Amino acid sequence: MDDTTSRALISLDLAPGASLDDVKKSYRELALIWHPDKVPDRVKDRATAKFTEINEAYQWLVRHPENLRMPSSSRSSAHQRSSPGYRTSSQTRQSQSERPRSEYARPGASGRTGPGATRSGASRSGASRSGASWTDPSGRAGAGSSTDPAVQRVRQAARGIWTDTRAGLYIYPDIDADRAANYIVALQSNPAFSGVASTVNDLLVLYDIDGSGEEGMAITRSNHLVNNNLGTRYDIGDLVEVRLKEGFFFWSEIVVRRRGSRTFELAGYAENGPGRAMVSILRNLIG
């Protein structure tokens, strides 16, 4: 099976061996989930990109149904064909062997790495945006290093939950340096986030909601939950309860309750899978 067909199947949440009927059924389901008219305005751009990807994958597969039956040994001949207009977004450019679909927490998992986990940020030596810096997490002790108490606390809270680049969820030490740098720059442009995080090292969990790193939620080394999409900022030490209100389609609300308050506040929107992961980490941090 050629690489383009493999990527198209992944985009439609299908495995090799899927039939054309499977393709059509999955396309209808995913198109309903990702249609830009079905999501909040703040995530419409990301939904539009995903919706476009789904359409292109579907068009490629229905135009080349013979590729669904093509064995892996035919890959070389398949590459001789003209390339389609189909492309994948930066969030979904992984093979199925790299990321187990719909798995954010695994019983018995040891934490930060494993099949499906990535080390997208650990090998980077610099950040692409001014005002943010990156230090290799495996390096010497200090802010953002594995010996930092804040890092140890978050890693323990995230035990069994892995980085998932397809979903935009990054957990230390797998923070994507470029996206984290974009996020830090966005935080620094808003006085409301002053003192929360100043370098990439200060981000211990990042949920990249728009695919660029510029908008999303983060748990910081200063023990804050911040969302520059909504402009919310919470001291995790002041929180006593976190809930996930799953939506009818794909998006959920993460709501939190502060100490001394009876009402819940909206902390942010998230896809169901990353939302469950973020809530699990926060609950563990709250204790």
Q: Please list the rounded mean pLDDT of every run of 10 residues in the chain (287 residues).
A: 87 90 85 76 84 86 83 42 35 35 32 37 34 37 65 95 92 94 92 92 92 90 94 97 81 93 94 92 96
Q: Which residues contact 248 (CB under 8 A, 6 or more apart)?
A: none
- Burial of residue 126, with CB atoms counted within 10 A of its CB: 0-12 exposed, 13-18 middle, 19 or more buried: exposed
Tell me if residue 228 falls in helix, strand or coil. coil
Q: What is this structure's pTM?
A: 0.57
What is the CATH code for 3-71?
1.10.287.110
Could you state, in order of their start, the residue ranges of all structural domains in the chain?
3-71, 149-286
| Torsion of Cα atoms, 183 then 184 then 186 then 191, to 10° | 140
Q: What is the pLDDT of residues 182-222, one digit of tens each?
A: 999 999 989 999 999 999 999 999 999 878 888 899 999 99
- Supply angle C-alpha 282, 283, 287, rounded to 5: 115
Structure tokens at 86: 């189909």
d(CA 18, CA 157): 38
- Residue 22 contacts residue 58 (beta carbons within 8 Å): no
d(CA 99, CA 92): 10
Q: Which residues contact 194 (CB under 8 A, 6 or more apart)?
A: none
Task: State the CATH architecture for 149-286.
Answer: Roll (2.30)
